[in-house]
Structure 1
Amino acid sequence: MPRAEARGARLLSDGGEPRNWMLLLTALVGWHADRWTGLAWGLVAAVFTAVVPTLILRLGEHRRSWGDRHVRRRRDRIAAAPAVMASVVTGTVLLYALDAPAAVAMLVTAMVAVLFALLLVTFFWKVSVHSAVASGAVAVLAAVFGLWVLLLTPLVAAIGWSRVRLRCHTVGQVVVGTAIGATVGTAACTLLG
């Protein structure tokens, strides 16, 4: 792969990683829900959906429980999933218990649904979490801000391309991840909205 292409793929992959999507989503949805108060709730959601999961993955990497923060091996993903899920579920319960804005709670609940679907598939096959979270994020943003957000779909495709170019996933794993994120994210928003 040419050096410039490899650099571009790495930038897209790192920039489009799930943590970054969740930091952006929680802030945008929180602000949209209730301006500064909503943004504060979004930051609470970010702690449980981005910050704590990142710390869990880094700790596992440091302890050599898995190779890197992307947790590339399927069996390692199964090992990491319960702790990440516990963080997101805890955040979801707190948001509902403390009466956070409905849109923020919906966002985190949609993430739980997408993570659960990914975990089920991961027992049998490796799937692209990058693609699932990117497409799920666009689905949630479209539910909150309107269908014009679907103009971000090429970004989801570019992130998928980067994962294939970096040999982290096959085209099939990217397509299935994208489908899971978009389908489950849309369904969760429809049911909760």
Structure 2
Amino acid sequence: MDTTVTPSLPLRLARLVTEVLSPAVIVPLLSFAVAWYGTAHDVLGTVLWGLLVTVFYCAIPMAIVVRGARGGRWEGHWVRERERRMVPFLLILVSTLVGLALMLVGTAPGDVLALAWSMVVTLLACLVITRWWKVSVHATVAGGALGTIVLLYGPWYLLLVPALALVCWSRVVVEDHTLAQVVVGAVLGPVVGGVVFLALR
């Protein structure tokens, strides 16, 4: 007899949102959007700097967490256990710093460098908080991306706030985070990342 319980529609939708609006999707989109603006719409420059940020701030970090999950070092590719997040966070920090060094050597556009620094500082903030509490990285990245896009492209992009709310909702519904953890993340991203980006661009 099959005793498998079919997930509810809200849970299925939340799982879909968790993947579709994950850092693995948002970071590359943000990278190319900032590179497009920072290079004054130069296609080659956008591709070059957008790819560099994507590789060191998204592709390598995702490879780290997926490999760790497959090796049983932590649960799932979003590292559900707070106490297991320190090691992947530190490895991801190394990747971002290597990417930042390459951008400095290659004289990346100011906006791209500001984005890189803002993500490094935000990651450090998440790392410190995670020693005691499980802040939502999904919400942090989504909030930070929204703040950055608004700073660059204008207040019309505040229309994307419902997408940020959807990310927060999904993380609570899949039971990876509490309401407080997603709210703090959604604020942490634009406050920490946005302030650093604005100060350095």
In which range does the TM-score fall when normalised by the shorter chain?
over 0.9
Letter in 2 for 1:171: L
Letter in 1 for 2:98: T
Could you state the TM-score of these two structures normalised by the residue count of structure 2?
0.92
Are 1:20 and 2:25 an aligned pair?
Answer: yes
Aligned residue number for residue 39 of structure 1? 47
How far residue 144 of structure 1 moved from its aligned partner, in angstroms, is 1.5
Deviations 1:64-104, CA, capped at 9 Å, x for gaps: 11111100101111121110010011111211121011111
Deviations 1:79-136, CA, capped at 9 Å, x for gaps: 2111001001111121112101111111111111111111111011011100000000
Are 1:139 and 2:139 an aligned pair?
Answer: no
How far residue 3 of structure 1 moved from its aligned partner, in angstroms, is 2.4
Specify every segment of 5 or more residues in structure 2 that has no aligned partner in the other structure, as ranges: 1-5
Count of matched residue pairs: 193
Letter in 2 for 1:32: Y
User: Is contact 1:61-1:67 (8 Å) kept?
Assistant: yes
Secondary structure of the 2:141 match is helix
Deviations 1:37-68, CA, capped at 9 Å, x for gaps: 12211111110011000111111112211111
Larger Rg: 2
How far residue 160 of structure 1 moved from its aligned partner, in angstroms, is 0.2
Q: Which of 86, 97, 106 pairs up with 2:105?
A: 97
CA distance in 1, matches of 2:157, 2:85: 30
CA distance in 2, matches of 1:67, 1:94: 32
Are 1:65 and 2:70 an aligned pair?
Answer: no
Aligned residue number for residue 81 of structure 1? 89
Letter in 2 for 1:132: T
User: Is contact 1:19-1:49 (8 Å) kept?
Assistant: no
RMSD (Å), alpha carbons: 1.3
Q: Which of 152, 165, 170 pairs up with 2:178?
A: 170
CA distance in 2, matches of 1:90, 1:127: 25
How far residue 33 of structure 1 moved from its aligned partner, in angstroms, is 2.1
Aligned residue number for residue 154 of structure 1? 162
Which structure 1 residue ranges, 4+ long, deviate > 4 Å from structure 2? none
